[in-house]
Amino acid sequence: MLNKKPSSTFQPYYVNECENIKLAIKQVASKFNKDPNTLDFDLQNIITYKKTSQDQQLKLIPQNEVNLFLNNRNNLLDSNLTITQHYCVTIKEQSKKQRQFHFQADKIFSEIFLIFRVGFTYTDTIFESLYEEIRKIKVWNKILIFNEFAEKKTLKEFLSSLEYPLKQEAKYLLVQGTNLLPTLESKLEFKKEITKNFQTINKNEIICIYHKALQGKPGRNTRGEYIIPKVPKILHQNSPLKYDSASIKAKEYPNAIYYLSAIGGILKYDKDYLQIQDTFEVKEVSLKTTGSLIGGIDSGTTINITEADNLKESLGQGMKVEASKVNIAGNVGAHAEIKVKEVNIGGFTHQSSKIYAQNATIKIHKGYVYGEIIKIQNLETGIIEGKRVEVEQMYGGKIYADEIFIQKLHTNAFLYATKNIRIATMLKGENKFFIAANYSPQAKEYFNTLIKTKNDSMQQVIILTKELKAEILHIQKLKPTADETRKTLMLYKNTKTTPPSYLLKEFEAYHQLVLDLKHKQETINQLSQTYKQSLKDLNTFDKATQNATIEIQSGWVGYNEVHYHFYSPKLELMLIPKPNQPKKVSYNKQTKQLILQE
Q: Say if residue 260 is in the same domain as residue 119.
A: no
Q: Is residue 162 assigned to a domain?
A: yes
Residue 535 DSSP SS3: helix
Nearest to 424 by CA among 553, 252, 529: 553
In a shared domain, residues 124 and 211: no
Q: Is 397 helix (H, G, I), strand (E, B) or coil?
A: strand
Q: What is the pLDDT of residue 3?
A: 36
Contact 534, 453 (CB under 8 A): yes
Handedness of CA 494, 500, 503, 506 (dihedral sign): positive
- Please tell me whether residues 118 and 137 are part of one structural domain: yes
CA dihedral sign, ordered 226, 232, 236, 242: negative
Please tell me whether residues 94 and 240 are part of one structural domain. no
Alpha-carbon distance values, 73 to 44, 55, 76 (Å): 28, 21, 5
Residue at 509 is within a domain: no
Assess whether 83 and 39 both reside in one domain.
yes
Which run of H or of E encompasses 446?
A: helix 441-494
Domain-located, residue 288: no
480 part of a folded domain = no
Q: Hey, how many other C-beta atoms are within 10 angstroms of the C-beta on 89?
A: 26
What pLDDT score does 8 carry?
A: 57
Instruction: Give the distance between the most distant pair of CA atoms in the chain.
Output: 119
Q: Is there a single domain that holds both residue 111 and residue 204? A: no
In-domain check, residue 192: yes
Residues 91 and 240 in one domain: no
Asked if 106 and 136 sit in the same domain, the reply is yes
Strand-pairing partners, residue 563, are 434, 574
- Nearest residue to 180 via CA among 117, 106, 242: 106
pTM summary value: 0.65
Q: State CA 478 to chain mean position distance.
A: 52
Residues 6+ apart with CB under 8 A from 411: 395, 396, 427, 428, 429, 430, 431, 558
Distance CA 559, CA 594 (A): 17
Q: Where is the domain boundary, 176, 207, 235? A: 176
40: DSSP letter: E
CA 193/CA 310 separation, integer angstroms: 35
List Cα–Cα distances, 598 to 544, 549, 582, 586, in angstroms. Answer: 22, 12, 5, 10
159 falls within a domain: yes
At 592, the amino acid letter reads: K
pLDDT in the model for residue 4: 42
Query: What separation in angstroms does the CA of 594 have from each of 31, 59, 192, 320, 589?
Result: 99, 104, 60, 45, 9
Q: Which of 211, 235, 264 is the last residue of a domain?
A: 264
- 134 and 191 fall within a common domain: no
Residue 107 lies in a domain: yes
| Owning domain of residue 254 | 187-264
Residues 162 and 200 in one domain: no
The region, left, alpha or beta by phi > 0 then psi within -120 to 50, assigned to residue 17 is left
**178: CB partners within 8 A, 6+ apart:** 73, 76, 77, 219, 220
Residues 83 and 227 in one domain: no
Query: How far apart (Å, rounded) are the C-alpha atoms in residues 493 and 363?
Result: 89
Residue (of 389, 331, 321) closest to 356 by Cα position:
321
Q: What is the DSSP string of 77-116?
A: T-TT-EEEEEEEEEEEEPP-PPPSEEEEE-TT-SEEEEEE
Which of 145, 176, 207 lies at the terminal end of a domain, its last residue?
Answer: 176
Residues 139, 43, single domain; the answer is yes
CA-CA-CA-CA torsion for 68, 71, 74, 77, nearest 10 degrees?
130
| Number of compact structural domains in the chain | 2
Indicate whether 21 belongs to any domain.
yes
pLDDT in tens, the chain (598 residues): 333 444 557 899 999 999 999 999 999 999 999 999 999 999 999 999 999 988 889 999 999 999 999 999 999 999 999 999 999 999 999 887 778 899 999 999 999 999 999 999 999 999 999 999 999 999 999 999 999 999 999 999 999 999 999 999 999 999 999 999 999 999 999 998 887 777 888 889 999 999 999 999 999 999 999 999 999 988 888 899 999 999 999 999 999 999 999 988 888 888 889 999 888 889 999 888 888 888 778 888 899 999 999 999 999 999 999 999 999 999 999 999 999 999 999 999 999 999 999 999 999 999 999 999 999 999 998 999 999 999 999 999 999 999 999 999 999 999 999 999 999 999 999 999 999 999 988 888 888 888 899 899 999 999 999 999 999 999 999 899 888 888 888 888 888 888 888 888 888 888 899 999 999 999 999 999 999 998 888 888 888 789 999 999 999 999 999 999 998 788 999 999 999 999 999 999 999 999 999 8
